[in-house]
Structure 1
Amino acid sequence: MYDWANSVYSLVITSTIFPVYYNSVTQSEDLGDKVNFFGIEVVNTVLYSYSISFSFLVIALISPLLSGIADYSGKKLAFMKLFAYIGSVSCAGLFFFDGSNLEFGIICSVLASIGFSGSIVFYNAFLPEIATEDEMDFLSARGFSLGYIGSVILLVLNLAMVQVPEVFGLTDGGEAARWSFLITGIWWIGFAQIAFRFLPDNPYHRKVKKAIFFKGYREIKRIFKVVRKTVVTRRFLLAFFFYSMGVQTIMYLAATFGDKELMLPGDKLILTILIIQLVAIAGSYLFAYVSKMFGNKLSLIIMVLVWLLICGAAYYVVNEYQFYALAFFVGMVMGGIQSLSRSTYAKLIPAETTQHASYFSFFDVTEKLAVVFGTFSYGFIEQITGNMRNSALFLGLFFLVGLGFLLLVRIPKLEFKPSFT
């Protein structure tokens, strides 16, 4: 149920309503799309890209240490709660962002992103503890699907608030958008209580000891050496890093692209994201089935090839109907590549280990660094070329490199036992 709880943040805040709201309140007659952030003049969308990069850089730096501590002390659930509360409160805090307090809005956005990403580090690490290896693909797909369903339900409500604010006793769409941020924070932490109630707390009965900080660091260092020597895991993480640079950047900045390059109004952008979410539900199960029939590797390769075509097509999109068609294909592979990447990595963790959070930290850090480099590259290319289409085209290179590494990976279907070189 944590997928159901936190996915509303990913959809409402990062993908739809907040990017559109942010763009609208940071435009001015005097400066156009330029803003002053702590005295520095920068393009509003570039600032937003960089803020995402910064938040994920923070998580990439601290999550390996935190997960090592969590495994050593048996406090995965406690750390998951901590980050979930940070994220949901910061998300609700965006209610007070109105454009005049840009620094406050960016800080809340960054903290919400840190809370979301930090909680996922520990949430993902529960997968090997609640599912057998042959259950992981479909359980992971089920989690993402529940997340898509829950987030679509809340997005439809928020969309209604934005479109007809007077029905809800609101003055305009801007006020409705701010209320949607508050509702998203409440939904997130409210439904998270179900996961907090039923996820296993310290299943290996570890006790907190002194010098936990240093022991946690030693644990993560030890596991890093194991991962580095495991050929299949190392190659998979490299492939995952490069194709995630493209996947995550598209997820975070698709609405911004439609707003700035195609001049689509907010309701049509939100409709686009709804298409992506609904199709992603089917996509998650479709590629879980393909994986079951033909293996994880072939399923991942097919999806990366589709992502490559999406990047090329994005460069030539000129109207809303082409954008909708592109959204359909994004949805088809978005859910599948996320859920299957998670379950594939879970299969690569040695069966005898109990250090799941520490192992999963490498997966999560890889993803976070991919967001850092992907969103930064996207913003940087826009800054130097003045065109987001060039940024979208450049993302295709990341998928191409990721495909190359993926072709080198030999992913077993069942009962994986790592071999070392």
Structure 2
Amino acid sequence: MLKIGDKKLINAWAFYDWANSVYSLVISTAIFPLFYSAVTDGETIYFLGTDWQHPDALYSYALSFSFLVVAFISPILSAIADYTGNKKRFLQVFCLIGSLSVMSLYFFKDLDTIWVGIVFSILASIGFWGSIVFYNSYLPEVAHPEDQDRVSAKGFIYGYLGSVILLILCLVLILSQEVDADKLKMMRYSFVLVGIWWIGFAQFTFKRLPNNVFNKKPDRDIFWKGFKELRMVMKEVKNYPTLKGFLVAFFLLSVGVQTIILMASIFGSQELGLDSTGLIITILVIQLVAIGGASLFSNLSKKYGNFKALKISLFIWMVVCFGAFMLHKDLPNVDIYFYALGGVLGLVLGAIQSLSRSTYSKLLPETEDHATYFSFFDVTEKIAIVFGTFIFGFLSAKTGSMQWSALSLAIFFVAAFVVLSFLKGTKYVK
């Protein structure tokens, strides 16, 4: 078994980002939302005995449901995984669920098969986010605390590179067709490619990641014992004020970060009137800049400390929110400004996600319950997503503009900045 800090182990762990990030880019952000919009095209659709006049709302509700499912099951399953020492198996199962569900989206063809798109979108999201819990929890077991910022950034860099490569490949296939129906068919083939990429490259990670690092020998009744493990960790979190405070800051910044990620393309298309080509260009710009951003802020954290590096990134996120507020479709060259804003966003996108993961990892006490602790990290993010998207939609409906919704997210970045400012440093986090 490879030991903690071994380069082969670190590379194998980081490579899961390469494998699964194609889901978040191609499925969540770029191609599937465009395919879904093209198929539904403002039509009233029938699902679960109800007529839906706004198909985008149904898709949004489906994703929110998947986040709530993961938020509910991940703490329990993580506690069982920690108790049994079988964390790797859970990672593999969620990876399998996600990749097979993504490939099954191929069978979503028209309004008659809308149920296929909704059901497998939910399952793919559960598979992706469920696997992330167990993947993240391996960080303290593959890298020493002083290396975790760099290693976490390495994972995100691998993810951005891999997802950009596959997205470009999918775009080449789609744009090679001239007829819209053929383009939609190529989009469906791209879903299959995502699933194959995800499950295929994940095998490299599974081959080298250890299982049962702490040599657990579970008794029977693992569900009840796992639940007791969860209760124990919940009590322990209260004894670590910096860890607890960081979870509060992470919730606040995640409201802003995750909402912007999910709503950026909708803001560009509906609020600014940008075409799909312009939006995909922006997405690619964000991904490519994020590679450098993750590396840059990893070095900043090494020089100035995690909290200061995070606060710098939060300030830039505030600028992004204010910049989005200033944009409107009648502004000359609004597309150029949107691309530029995407570049700024990319600079801090990988940075804040990577640093949040490594900071939380370095704040953990000496423990064998890494999966359980990281389930709290994951649940915090999922609740933030539901909360943030609700606020964004509510303000958009009330004001008739997404500009105020974008500006409101700056409040959460300010609040996160304030919370971080009051947290005391620890041995590995300053």
TM-score by length of 2: 0.91
Superposed CA deviations along residues 368-406 of structure 1, whole A, max 9, x for unmatched, are 111121223323333444433333222222222222212
Paired residue for 1:376, among 390, 395, 407?
390
What displacement does 1:96 show?
1.7
Q: Structure 1 pair 403/47, CA: closer, same or farther in 2 (3 Å)? A: farther
Q: Structure 1 pair 64/149, CA: closer, same or farther in 2 (3 Å)? A: same
Partner of 1:240: 250
Partner of 1:70: 81
Task: Measure the CA separation in 1 of the matches of 2:373 and 2:399.
Answer: 40
C-alpha RMSD of matched pairs (Å): 1.9
Q: Which amino acid aligns with 1:283?
A: G
What displacement does 1:329 show?
0.8
Q: Which amino acid aligns with 1:329?
A: V
Whether the 8 Å contact between 2:149 and 2:354 is mirrored in structure 1 is: yes
Pair 1:92-2:103 in alignment: yes
Q: Which amino acid aligns with 2:215?
A: H
What displacement does 1:245 show?
1.0
Whether the 8 Å contact between 1:50 and 1:379 is mirrored in structure 2 is: no
Superposed CA deviations along residues 343-376 of structure 1, whole A, max 9, x for unmatched, are 00011111x3111111111111111111121223
What displacement does 1:106 show?
1.6
What displacement does 1:182 show?
1.1
Task: Measure the CA separation in 1 of the matches of 2:426 and 2:190.
Answer: 44
Pair 1:395-2:402 in alignment: no
Task: Measure the CA separation in 2 of the matches of 1:398 and 1:230.
Answer: 23
Of 406-415 and 128-137, the range deviating more from structure 2? 406-415
Pair 1:17-2:31 in alignment: yes
Partner of 2:21: 7
Task: Measure the CA separation in 1 of the matches of 2:279 and 2:429.
Answer: 44
Task: Measure the CA separation in 2 of the matches of 1:198 and 1:45.
Answer: 41
What displacement does 1:282 show?
0.2
Task: Measure the CA separation in 2 of the matches of 1:20 and 1:263.
Answer: 15
Q: Which amino acid aligns with 1:97?
A: F
Partner of 1:50: 61
Task: Measure the CA separation in 1 of the matches of 2:177 and 2:392.
Answer: 34
Partner of 1:179: 189
What displacement does 1:49 show?
2.6
Paired residue for 1:337, among 313, 336, 352?
352
Q: Structure 1 pair 64/263, CA: closer, same or farther in 2 (3 Å)? A: same
Superposed CA deviations along residues 74-104 of structure 1, whole A, max 9, x for unmatched, are 1100001111111111111111223403232
Task: Measure the CA separation in 2 of the matches of 1:9 and 1:61.
Answer: 22
Partner of 1:419: none
Whether the 8 Å contact between 1:7 and 1:148 is mirrored in structure 2 is: yes
Whether the 8 Å contact between 1:223 and 1:358 is mirrored in structure 2 is: yes
Paired residue for 1:197, among 207, 222, 228?
207
What displacement does 1:281 show?
0.3
Superposed CA deviations along residues 101-130 of structure 1, whole A, max 9, x for unmatched, are 323212211111110000000001111111
Whether the 8 Å contact between 1:257 and 1:388 is mirrored in structure 2 is: yes
Pair 1:146-2:161 in alignment: no
Give the match's secondary structure for 1:411: coil
Whether the 8 Å contact between 1:45 and 1:379 is mirrored in structure 2 is: no
Task: Measure the CA separation in 2 of the matches of 1:310 and 1:348.
Answer: 28
Task: Measure the CA separation in 1 of the matches of 2:264 and 2:180.
Answer: 28
Give the match's secondary structure for 2:238: helix
Provide the identity percentage.
Answer: 50
Of 244-253 and 296-305, the range deviating more from structure 2? 244-253
Pair 1:276-2:286 in alignment: yes
Of 231-240 and 245-254, the range deviating more from structure 2? 245-254
Task: Measure the CA separation in 2 of the matches of 1:306 and 1:52.
Answer: 28
Whether the 8 Å contact between 2:79 and 2:229 is mirrored in structure 1 is: yes
Whether the 8 Å contact between 2:306 and 2:429 is mirrored in structure 1 is: no
Alignment: residue pair count: 409
- Consecutive unaligned residues in structure 1, runs of 5 or more: 417-421
Partner of 2:90: 79
Partner of 1:231: 241
Whether the 8 Å contact between 2:307 and 2:429 is mirrored in structure 1 is: no
Paired residue for 2:260, among 250, 260, 268?
250
Give the match's secondary structure for 1:16: helix
Task: Measure the CA separation in 2 of the matches of 1:413 and 1:327.
Answer: 36
What displacement does 1:170 show?
9.7
Whether the 8 Å contact between 1:75 and 1:201 is mirrored in structure 2 is: yes
Whether the 8 Å contact between 1:49 and 1:378 is mirrored in structure 2 is: no
Whether the 8 Å contact between 2:363 and 2:428 is mirrored in structure 1 is: no
Whether the 8 Å contact between 2:26 and 2:194 is mirrored in structure 1 is: yes
Task: Measure the CA separation in 1 of the matches of 2:87 and 2:230.
Answer: 14
Partner of 1:116: 128
What displacement does 1:323 show?
0.9
TM-score by length of 1: 0.93
Paired residue for 2:139, among 127, 151, 157?
127
Pair 1:324-2:339 in alignment: yes
Pair 1:164-2:176 in alignment: yes
Whether the 8 Å contact between 1:297 and 1:410 is mirrored in structure 2 is: no
Q: Which amino acid aligns with 1:133?
A: P
Whether the 8 Å contact between 1:50 and 1:376 is mirrored in structure 2 is: no
Whether the 8 Å contact between 1:15 and 1:254 is mirrored in structure 2 is: no
Q: Structure 1 pair 99/301, CA: closer, same or farther in 2 (3 Å)? A: farther
Task: Measure the CA separation in 2 of the matches of 1:260 and 1:384.
Answer: 16
Superposed CA deviations along residues 313-349 of structure 1, whole A, max 9, x for unmatched, are 1122232111101100110000000010000001111
Partner of 2:304: 294
Of 361-370 and 36-45, the range deviating more from structure 2? 36-45
Superposed CA deviations along residues 13-39 of structure 1, whole A, max 9, x for unmatched, are 1111112222222214xx5xx654431
Task: Measure the CA separation in 2 of the matches of 1:177 and 1:390.
Answer: 34
Whether the 8 Å contact between 1:5 and 1:150 is mirrored in structure 2 is: yes
Superposed CA deviations along residues 149-203 of structure 1, whole A, max 9, x for unmatched, are 000000110111121136xx99622112111111101100111111111111111
- Consecutive unaligned residues in structure 2, runs of 5 or more: 1-14, 329-333
Partner of 1:359: 373
Partner of 1:188: 198
